[in-house]
Amino acid sequence: MTVRRDKSDHLFSRAVDVIPGGIYGHVAPIAGMPRNFPHYISSASGCRFEDVDGNEWLDFMCGFGAILHGYSNSEIDDAANTQRSKGAIFNQPSPVMVELAELLTCKIDFADWSVFAKNGSDLTTWAIRVAREYTGRPYVIKAKEVYHGVDAWCDPGFGGRIKDDRSSILEFAWNDLDELHELLDSHQDQVSSIILTPYHHAAFAPSVLPADDFWPNIEKKCNDLGIVLILDDVRAGGRLHDYGSHRYFNFSPDLSIYSKALGNGYAISACVGKEFLRNASKEVFLTGSCWNDAVAMAAALKSLEISSSQRVAESVLTKGDYFCQGLQNRAKKYGFPLCMTGPSSMPYPWFEGDENLFRIQKFCEFAAKRCLYFHPHHNWFISNAHQYSDLDQALELADEAMKDLSEFERT
Name the residue nearer to another protein (CB basis): 254 or 365: 365
Question: Which residues between 127 and 146 bind another protein (CB under 8 A)?
Answer: 144
Residue selected from 105, 308, 361, 406 as contacting another protein according to rule CB under 8 A:
361
Name the residue nearer to another protein (CB basis): 71 or 147: 147
- DSSP-based three-state secondary structure for 268: coil
Neighbour tally for 25: CB within 10 Å: 10
For residue 279, state whether it binds another protein (rule: CB under 8 A). Answer: no
Instruction: Compute the least distance from the CB of residue 24 to another protein, in Å.
Output: 7
Instruction: Compute the least distance from the CB of residue 159 to another protein, in Å.
Output: 7
For residue 35, state whether it binds another protein (rule: CB under 8 A). Answer: yes
Instruction: Compute the least distance from the CB of residue 29 to another protein, in Å.
Output: 4
Instruction: Compute the least distance from the CB of residue 121 to another protein, in Å.
Output: 20
Residue span 190-219 as binding mask against another protein, x where in contact by CB under 8 A, dash where not: --------------x---------------
Residue selected from 355, 392, 407, 409 as contacting another protein according to rule CB under 8 A:
355
For residue 30, state whether it binds another protein (rule: CB under 8 A). Answer: yes
Instruction: Compute the least distance from the CB of residue 147 to another protein, in Å.
Output: 12
For residues 176 and 18, give the distance between their C-alpha atoms in angstroms, rounded to a whole number. Answer: 45
Q: What's the Cα-to-Cα distance from 245 to each of 32, 92, 230, 249, 318, rounded to whole Å?
A: 27, 32, 12, 7, 16
Name the residue nearer to another protein (CB basis): 225 or 357: 357
For residue 388, state whether it binds another protein (rule: CB under 8 A). Answer: no
Name the residue nearer to another protein (CB basis): 339 or 357: 357
Residue selected from 4, 14, 21, 220 as contacting another protein according to rule CB under 8 A:
21
For residues 73 and 280, give the distance between their C-alpha atoms in angstroms, rounded to a whole number. Answer: 37
Print the SS3 string covering the chain: CCCCCHHHHHHHHHHHHHCCCCCCHHHCHHHCCCCCCCCCEEEEEECEEEECCCCEEEECCCCCCCCCCCECCHHHHHHHHHHHHHCCCCCCCCHHHHHHHHHHHHHCCCCCEEEEECCHHHHHHHHHHHHHHHHCCCEEEEECCCCCCCCCCCCCCCCCCCHHHHCCEEEECCCCHHHHHHHHHHCCCCEEEEEECCCECCCCCCCECCCCCHHHHHHHHHHHHCCEEEEECCCCCCCCCCCCHHHHHCCCCCEEEECHHHHCCCCCEEEEECHHHHHHHHHCCCCCCCCCCHHHHHHHHHHHHHHHHHCHHHHHHHHHHHHHHHHHHHHHHCCCCEEEECCCCCCEEEECCCCCCHHHHHHHHHHHCCCEECCCCCCCCCCCCCCHHHHHHHHHHHHHHHHHHHHHHHC
For residue 12, state whether it binds another protein (rule: CB under 8 A). Answer: yes
Residue span 39-58 as binding mask against another protein, x where in contact by CB under 8 A, dash where not: x-------------------
For residue 377, state whether it binds another protein (rule: CB under 8 A). Answer: yes
Number of residues located near another protein, criterion CB under 8 A: 26
Instruction: Compute the least distance from the CB of residue 397 to another protein, in Å.
Output: 22
Q: Which stretch binds another protein (CB under 8 A): 13-21, 48-56, 129-137, 187-195?
A: 13-21
Question: Which residues between 153 and 182 bind another protein (CB under 8 A)?
Answer: 158-159
Residue selected from 276, 358, 388, 408 as contacting another protein according to rule CB under 8 A:
358
Name the residue nearer to another protein (CB basis): 99 or 145: 145
* Phi, psi for residue 138 in degrees, rounded to 5: -90, -35
Name the residue nearer to another protein (CB basis): 361 or 406: 361
For residue 409, state whether it binds another protein (rule: CB under 8 A). Answer: no
Instruction: Compute the least distance from the CB of residue 347 to another protein, in Å.
Output: 20
Which residues of the shown chain bind another protein in the complex (CB under 8 A)?
9, 12-13, 16, 20-24, 28-31, 34-35, 39, 144, 158-159, 204, 355-358, 361, 377
